[in-house]
Amino acid sequence: MSSRTITILGYILAVVLLAVLQVLSSLPQSRVPSFAAVIRRIARTRSGRVGLLTAWAWLGMHFLAR
Amino acid sequence: MSRWRPRIAKEAHPESRGLRGGLNRVRDRLDPVALVLLVTAVFVWLTGKPAHALFVGTIGLLLTWKTIRGTPSPQRAREPEPKQHASSPASASFGASSSLAALTTTATLVIDDADCESEGETRRRTYHGALVAGVGMVFALVVAAFPRFSWPATVAVVAVAAYAVARGWDRQKNPADELSASDGQTSRAGLLAWALAFGAGALWELAALLQQPSLREGSYDHPTISILVDSLLAGYWGRAITLLLWLCLGWFLMREIER
């Protein structure tokens, strides 16, 4: 298995892990919060809100802006 | 009793502690998010993206300034902030209902008003949602027509990003929705699981980045996500779909933040 394949598999694994957490959060009596609940939790403070939105803004700029 | 006096005097006059006291105050008020943004800005600058570094760094500096200058005293922190509640569109109806309730003397009027408001609010949200979706689609299709990293694409993306950050900046949550029922059931371990999953992904990306020949040159053997999506973003439809997904993520974040 090449280094490239291993690197790509790592990304896929991370995405799968996030998807599993989201599925777990939807189970009844689950103690795992949903992604939306995590966002709401972070967004309680100004720093959290601004940090979240800046991370999102940077994603768009990184991929598309000069 | 006499043991207490010096300690109280110290806490009552922190200014008198000089340089050390000042440093301690800065440390206490230092915002970790602002610090992360400032460090990120430095690294983004090193990778040859001064416009991105300026954007992230400016927000980091504003947040630092606001944190150091704007930390309210305990007395001020207890005071209500009606102006900020009213400035938020999401809480506008909340403010209107509160005003009405204060003015009317019968509960019937308030209940009638709440029903009408609920219907109106649902209709308004549906219309608003359709409008935002339409504008987002047009935005993605138009901006994707410009080449990647061109100035028109940069201005369009930065304008939307700046608007979202500015809107999230002054969002003041109502005390009533501070902790929803679903939030109350979440465990610390659950939050830690999310943090670990995102952290693992970020570290994996960082490891790939550090194995590149340089910060500005990609590696075939250890591709970062940016390198992997380069071919996708080279085409019009790839850019349009990516822009649309980016806007959807932003809309989702704003919706959860303003909920």
Candidates B40, B190, B222; nearest CB to A31: B190
Query: Whole-angstrom Cα distance, residue B222 to residue B208?
Result: 5
Show the tokens assigned to B44: 């983004």
User: Running DSSP on this structure, what letter comes out for residue B214?
Assistant: B
Type of residue found at B93 = S
For testing contact with chain A, the best of B211, B253, B254, B259 (most A CBs within 10 A): B253
What's the confidence (pLDDT) of residue B158?
93
What's the confidence (pLDDT) of residue B80?
47
The helix/strand/coil state of B258 is helix
What's the confidence (pLDDT) of residue B179?
54
What's the confidence (pLDDT) of residue B71?
60
Q: Which residues of B121-146 are buried (b: 16+ CB within 10 A; e: fewer)?
A: eeeeeeeeeeeeeeebeebbeebbeb
The helix/strand/coil state of B73 is coil
The CB density around residue B1, as the number of other CB atoms within 10 Å, is 4
B169 to A31: CB separation less than 8 angstroms, yes or no: no
A65 to B180: CB separation less than 8 angstroms, yes or no: no
Candidates B34, B56, B171; nearest CB to A58: B56
Query: Whole-angstrom Cα distance, residue B146 to residue B137?
Result: 15
What's the confidence (pLDDT) of residue A11?
96
B220 to A47: CB separation less than 8 angstroms, yes or no: no
What's the confidence (pLDDT) of residue B165?
92
What's the confidence (pLDDT) of residue A54?
93
Distance from CA of B1 to the nearest CA of A (A): 39
CB pairs under 8 A between A and B: 188
Query: Whole-angstrom Cα distance, residue A55 to residue B11?
Result: 38
For residue B156, give the nearest of B169, B166, B167, B142 by alpha carbon. B142
Q: Which residues of chain B have pLDDT under 70?
A: 1-17, 26-27, 71-117, 172-186
The helix/strand/coil state of B217 is strand
What's the confidence (pLDDT) of residue B4?
46
* CB B207, CB A24: distance < 8 Å: no
A63 to B226: CB separation less than 8 angstroms, yes or no: yes
The answer for B 161-190 residues in CB contact with A (under 8 A) is: 161-162, 164-165, 168-169, 171, 173, 178, 180, 182-183, 185-187, 189-190
Query: Whole-angstrom Cα distance, residue B88 to residue B186?
Result: 27
Q: What is the pLDDT of residues B99-122, one digit of tens each?
A: 445 544 555 555 566 666 678 888
Candidates B160, B168, B246; nearest CB to A49: B168
State which residue of chain B sits closest to A24, comparing Cα positions: B190
The answer for B 46-75 residues in CB contact with A (under 8 A) is: 49, 51-52, 55-56, 59, 63, 66-67
Distance from CA of A16 to the nearest CA of B (A): 10
Query: Whole-angstrom Cα distance, residue B136 to residue B124?
Result: 18
Strand partners, B214: B217
Distance from CA of A19 to the nearest CA of B (A): 10
Query: Whole-angstrom Cα distance, residue A36 to residue A25?
Result: 10
State yes or no: pLDDT of A56 exceeds 70. Answer: yes
Q: What is the pLDDT of residues A6-52, one digit of tens each?
A: 999 999 999 999 999 999 999 998 889 999 999 999 998 888 999 99
* CB B168, CB A45: distance < 8 Å: no
Query: Whole-angstrom Cα distance, residue B194 to residue B200?
Result: 10
Query: Whole-angstrom Cα distance, residue B81 to residue A20?
Result: 40
Query: Whole-angstrom Cα distance, residue B145 to residue B237?
Result: 9
* CB A25, CB A37: distance < 8 Å: yes
pTM confidence score: 0.73
What's the confidence (pLDDT) of residue B92?
44
Rg for chain B, CA atoms, rounded: 24
Angle, to 10 degrees, between the axis of helix B32-46 and the axis of helix B50-70? 160
Could you give the dihedral angle defined by the CA atoms of residues B222, B227, B229 and B235, in that order, rounded to the nearest 10 degrees?
-140
Q: What value, to the nearest 5°, has the Cα angle with vertex A36 and ends A32 and A37?
A: 50
Query: Whole-angstrom Cα distance, residue B68 to residue B13?
Result: 18
Cα B178 to the center of its chain, rounded Å: 16
A65 to B154: CB separation less than 8 angstroms, yes or no: yes
Candidates A8, A43, A57; nearest CB to B165: A57
Decide if B21 touches A, using CB distance below 8 A. Answer: no
Show the tokens assigned to B30: 């230092």
The answer for B 203-242 residues in CB contact with A (under 8 A) is: 204-205, 208, 220-223, 225-226, 228-229, 233, 239, 242
Type of residue found at B238 = G
What's the confidence (pLDDT) of residue B2?
43
